[in-house]
Structures are given as C-alpha cells and as structure tokens.
Structure 1
Amino acid sequence: MMLKDVNGYFEMVIAGAVVLAFLLGGLFSWVLVVRTIYFKITKQFSKTRSCDTCGKRISSSALICPSCGQHYPEGATSPSALIVGGVFGGVMFSYAGLKGIEIFIEEFLNK
C-alpha cells in the first residue's frame, strides 16, 4: 500500500512538472511576441546594421559585407517571422499547458 502511494505522488509530481514546462513555454512565447511588437513599434528593428569587422553600415539581411568581405552565415530574422513563430508557439504551448491542467485535475485531484 505504501509503495502505491509513493508511485501516485511520483506520477503527480512528474505530471505537474510537464504541465509547468508547457505553461512556461507558452509564457516565453507570448513574451517574445510582445517584445517583438514593442521593438517593431519603437523602430528598434533596423534595416541596416554595422559590420562587425569594418564598422560600415550594411543591410541587416546581408550575407557578405560589400566593403570588407566579412561573411555572415545568416541574414537577420525578420520581426514578422518572430511574431508569427511566437504566436504559434504561444498558442500551442498554452493550449498544451491548459489541457494538461485539466487532465491533472481529473486524474489526481478528483480521486
């Protein structure tokens, strides 16, 4: 009987940790969306940036600096892509977390 109680508590702790992880993932995604929208509104996303090597202004999506030839492996991520990804992640993680709470309540608290 004692071992069954320990297993039940262990399952409850693991399930609670998983639900908490999904809720935190959703919160992080929504914070990313709000932060990106704020930066977009305040014009902190620039279409140009300084080259790390020579300091000249180059396009934020440039793969190579035209002045010095410095290579950039990827262009900058657009704010729109961050917003879409954040909303998608926020919806998915929030739904999973809230559904997890519902299952958690049904499974462990209504016994």
Structure 2
Amino acid sequence: MSKKINEISDYVGVFCLGALTLSLFVLSIMFIIKSFINIYRRLKGVKIDRMTPCTTCRRSISNTAIICPYCGEHYGKMNGLGDSIIICFLFGVGLFVVGIASLTESVEWFEQTYMN
C-alpha cells in the first residue's frame, strides 16, 4: 500500500511541476507580447488614456487611482504597471528564466525518480 501511495504522489508531483513550468512560460510570453504591444503604441503615437470614468459615479478619475476622490469607490490596485515597456519586458524575461530553472529541476527530479 505504501509503495502505491508513493507512486501516486510521484505522479502528482510530476504533474504539478509540469503545470507550474508551463504556466511560467505562458506568463512570460504574455508579458513579452504586452511589452511589444506597448512599444508599438509608443511608435504609432497612440496615447494611453490617463483618465477613466469611475464605475460608480461616472466622473473622470486617474487611471492609477486607488480610491475615487468623488464617491470613495475603492479600486484596490494601480493599473499603470501594465503600460510600462520596461516592467513588462523584465517580468517576461524573469518569468522565462524561472521557467527554465523549474524545467531543469523537474527534469533532474524526473530522471532521479523514474530512470533509476
């Protein structure tokens, strides 16, 4: 019974590492694509709208506002980082490097577990 449980936990571990590695690569590709979209917008001269309507009172507020100054609606996060070329590119490259490290570790673990 113990051997069967160990086999199942090994299969679950391999699946989890694979899913983690795949998600890291997908996120890195998404951030790199977002950085190229931002570069394209800057080259074409597309202005990123700095003002947006509040979802509650519909007054014009800043894109990076955490709380609406008119009605107090809480947004909870800043939206400006997604429009930065450097931040998106650094996140993309960083996640790609972490994905490569995760892939090499999972391959080594897989070889030690199943090849011996």
TM-score, length-scaled by structure 1: 0.68
User: Where does residue 17 of structure 2 map in the other structure?
Assistant: 15
Residue of structure 2 equivalent to 1:33: 35
* TM-aligned CA deviation for residue 16 of structure 1: 0.7
Query: Equivalents in 1 of 2:109, 2:52: separation in Å?
Result: 53
- The aligned residue for residue 100 of structure 2 is 98
* Aligned length, in residue pairs: 92
Mapping 1:78-93, distance limit 5 Å: 82-93=84-95
CA-to-aligned-CA distance 1:5-40 (integer Å, 9 cap, x gap) = 111111000111111111111011101011111122
Q: How far is 1:74 from its partner? A: 2.7
- In percent, how many aligned pairs have the same letter? 13
Q: Which residue of 2 aligns with 1:74?
A: 63
> Which residue type is aligned with residue 21 of structure 1?
S
Off by >6 Å, runs of 4+ in structure 1: none
Distance 2:30 2:52 in 1: 29
Letter in 1 for 2:19: A
- Structure 2 alignment gaps of length 5 or more: 54-58, 65-78
Deviations 1:83-105 (A, max 9, x none): 01111111111111011011011
Distance in 1 (alpha carbons) for counterparts of 2:81 and 2:17: 36
Q: Which sections of structure 1, spanning at least 5 residues, go unmatched?
A: 48-59, 65-69
> Which secondary structure state, in structure 2, belongs to the residue aligned with residue 72 of structure 1?
strand
Aligned CA distance change for structure 1 residues 72 and 103 (closer, same or farther; 3 Å): same
The two structures, once aligned, show a CA RMSD in angstroms of: 2.7
Correspondence for 1:42? 44
User: What whole-Å deviation, never above 9, does each CA across 1:46-81 have from its counterpart, x for those lacking one?
Assistant: 27xxxxxxxxxxxx44689xxxxx4314368489x5
8 A contact 1:63–1:74 mirrored in 2: yes
